[in-house]
Amino acid sequence: MHGGLGIKKFSDLNMALISKLGWTLASGEEKPWCSLFLAKYGQRNDSFWSVKLPEAASEVARGILTSRDFIRGESCWLIANEGELMIESLAEWFNPRVGNQIGRVELLSNGDKDNLIWRDSTDGSFSVRQAYLSLIKPRLGMCSNVWKEIWKVPVHERVKLFLWKVCKDILPCGSRLRTVFGNDSHCVLCSDGEDSIPHLFFHCQFVRACWFSSPFGIRSERLVFGNMLELVNWIIHSPPIAPPCSSGGPSFPQFAAYLCYSLWNARNKVFHSGSSLRPQDVLSNSLKLVNDFIASKLRISLERLEVLDPPSVRGSWAFVVAVVFNKEGAFVEALTAKVSVSSALHAESLALCHAFSLSLKLNCKDASFYTDCLQLANTVRNFSIPVWNLSNIFLHLLSCLKINSGLGVFWLPRDADSVAHKLAAWAAVNNVSRVCTEGEVAPFVTTGC
């Protein structure tokens, strides 16, 4: 998947294997050899994290402690709930009615002991395989999500490929051309600076005019990046900047990606043909490209609205939907919300949280919640937590079900959830995050029946 012959380094394998012993000590497992290790090398109340080895310590003991920094960097503690509620404090901080309601809440226990979690593992458990993957992820570029998020940027596929090449620093310019042809290279747009990617995209006088004349008015000469990964990360994750008097226009990541793409094409055109260009020509071309792309995607989204899943995920963002019907099947209320998510399950669980909140607002005593995510439905019904880093969300969901026994979560097939599908797609296309009117939902209810 990542290239190469798949031959593992013995040093990496050794660290992954020795980390298993270190993990056993760090997590406080009650094993005879752990007690013997701490009794021999530790002082009173010493743990795996604080023990200091004497000079005469064995090679095995030294090897185990070499994994300490590695484990510290790849793990975290999941703090347990002690299961105690100070009832007398409720009267001081809340009015009697609210205090009594809180006091009746049955606390859900996520264990009476803090748990050491391996962050890269889905369920938080340690394994030698997972330790090895965590150990080599810096060499694979896995330490940054940029490599995955490049392919989720809302731009044309060839622009995504261009961003990937920038990130890999494999575009043929500057030092790469000097290696092949042996001649000094300079910027062909301004004939002044060096022929490098940072200069071409941000520091060239020609390019600075493009950025500053754009709807975003960027002072590109002030931008400094340590490497190409930081440069692409800035394009993808820069703060949202709305151009003045622009509704439905390109987002900043879209504009930045297309401008860099247009600048690279302009540079190649001047380099090979010697033609002259003006900054406004390059800027106009990049704006035309991004607007054409947005128009094409909007047309496709409207034609194929029903195929988008609720929640509608867009990179690290999702549009979640909750639609309420009464027992007779009549529409009551609906809302959409834009949320930051790390996975599809994260988005589905947040959608259920919003549905619970909506039912509370409507004062529903008995309510059935339907989702087309089978994993979520089974998890909630079984009162379990499938992913450690979503513990807080699932504890909240389970707490809601504990408070009101009249609430239930059920699974339904995807094709039976067409109203929510279409509403989520509509919200994503139009960037709608609010309570929806009956008139806005009516077309989807009609076509979804």
What's the CA gap between 196 and 225, in Å, rounded?
13
Q: Answer for the pair 348, 341: CB distance below 8 angstroms, yes or no.
A: no
Domain assignments of the chain as residue spans, ordered by start: 10-79+114-140, 146-303, 306-448
pTM for the whole structure? 0.51
pLDDT tens string, the chain, 449 residues long: the values are 444 456 788 899 999 999 999 999 999 898 999 999 999 998 878 889 999 988 888 999 999 999 999 999 999 988 776 656 566 666 666 777 777 776 666 555 556 677 899 998 988 899 999 999 999 887 765 556 777 788 888 899 999 999 999 988 888 887 677 666 666 678 888 888 888 899 999 999 999 999 999 988 899 999 988 888 889 989 988 766 655 544 457 888 999 999 999 999 999 999 888 888 899 999 999 999 998 888 877 554 433 333 333 565 666 788 888 888 888 778 888 889 888 888 888 989 999 988 888 888 888 778 888 888 899 988 888 888 888 888 888 888 888 787 777 788 888 887 777 888 888 888 888 888 888 877 777 777 655 44
The domain covering 306-448 belongs, at the CATH homologous superfamily level, to: Ribonuclease H-like superfamily/Ribonuclease H (3.30.420.10)
Tokens read off for 350: 């947040």
Task: Look at the alpha carbons of 287, 290, 291, 292 in this order and tell me if their dihedral is positive or negative.
Answer: positive
Q: C-alpha angle 106/335/410, rounded to 5°?
A: 50
**Cβ atoms within 10 Å, residue 55:** 4
What's the CA gap between 134 and 35, in Å, rounded?
28
202: DSSP letter? I
What are the distances in angstroms from CA 317 to CA 122, 155, 253, 343, 350? 20, 16, 14, 9, 12
In 3D, which of 394, 367, 370 has the Cα closest to residue 383? 394
